[in-house]
Structure 1
Amino acid sequence: MDMIREAEAADKQQIYNLYKMLVPNSKKMNVLEEQIDFIRRDPKNFLFVYDENGEIFGTLTLNICLQALHGLRPYGVVENIIVHENHRNKKIGHKLLRYVEKYCKSIDCHRIMLLSNSMRLQAHQFFEREGYNGSVSKGFKKYL
């Protein structure tokens, strides 16, 4: 049975393996069980996984951010979305994003934003097919 659920500490190694596919050359990656638990307990932050019979084939992070611009309406930020390279084109990414969108609508979010590495052109095409507009804003990052 496949399902989307919040990650648990026991998922650490499978999440790590997915992140290695996302950023294979990262020397700073450090997936911690206690951080997974901390995120799970936080009502504004989510680490979702796509679980198929105990195997995790996809994950993403959703952060709910407060703002003053649109009354009481927050917005969502999606980060670190990855589907296992052997399980792409099976609608896993689509299901993860639909799950997030349904949740964000349920709490009256104004919008959902996501960032994607500028070199991941296939991911950009996927996000555009999912209704995300890559020409509305330009993303900036500053690593600390």
Structure 2
Amino acid sequence: MDIKVRVAKKDDAFELSELFVEFIGTRSNIEKIQYQLDLLHKQPNYYVAVACLEEKVVGTAMGIVCPDIVGECQPYLLVENVVVSSVYQGSGIGKKLMNALEDFAMENLCSYIILASSKNREQAHRFYESIGYEGTKRGFIKRI
């Protein structure tokens, strides 16, 4: 399977929305995805990656470089929206996406990478641990 990871484009919005249905259970607004992709493409601290099998988007992940004011004040990378189509899970696509984000983090001199994952996503937790991430119980979220 020849999977290519690249920067997401505005034209990927529909396929991203389809992936997000698997992720959150509801459709996303295509026009808003397109707007956000245009906006994020202009900001060097954001990287929205897509994994493609031929021309089909089968996975995505987003990395955000965040400045820090502690210690040596090196930035860190926040990872969000990691999704691989259920048809292709277990085939190395998630690992390719995460490797691309890790490369982005290193290019931006990040000192660490953080991500949050819902407590019921046990398969995702096993995946993150298998690629070197340490699970903790220190994460919190408050929806507003």
TM-score (norm 2): 0.91
Displaced runs of 4+ in structure 1, greater than 6 A?
none
Query: Equivalents in 2 of 1:9, 1:23: separation in Å?
Result: 21
Note the C-alpha offset of 1:45.
Answer: 1.1
Asked whether the equivalents of residues 70 and 110 of structure 1 are also in contact (C-alpha less than 8 Å), the reply is: no
Does 2:104 match 1:103?
A: yes
Give the unaligned 5+ runs of structure 1: none
Deviations 1:14-64 (A, max 9, x none): 00000110111x47x434211111111111112110012110110011110
The amino acid of 2:106's aligned partner reads: K
Compute the displacement of 1:72 (Å).
Answer: 4.0
When the two chains are superposed, the root-mean-square deviation of aligned CA atoms in Å is 1.4
Deviates more, 1:103-112 or 1:10-19: 103-112
Q: Work out the percentage of aligned pairs sharing the same amino acid.
A: 28
On the 8 A contact 2:4/2:53 being kept in 1, the answer is: yes
1:30 alignment partner AA: N
2:124 maps to 1:141: no
Alignment correspondent of 1:113: 114
Tell me the CA shift for residue 6 of structure 1.
1.0
Greater Cα offset, 47-56 or 31-40: 31-40
Q: Tell me if the contact between 1:59 and 1:82 (Cα under 8 Å) persists in the aligned partners.
A: yes
AA aligned opposite 1:35: Q
Which SS does the other structure have where 1:85 is aligned? coil
The answer to whether the 8 Å contact 1:48/1:60 transfers is: yes
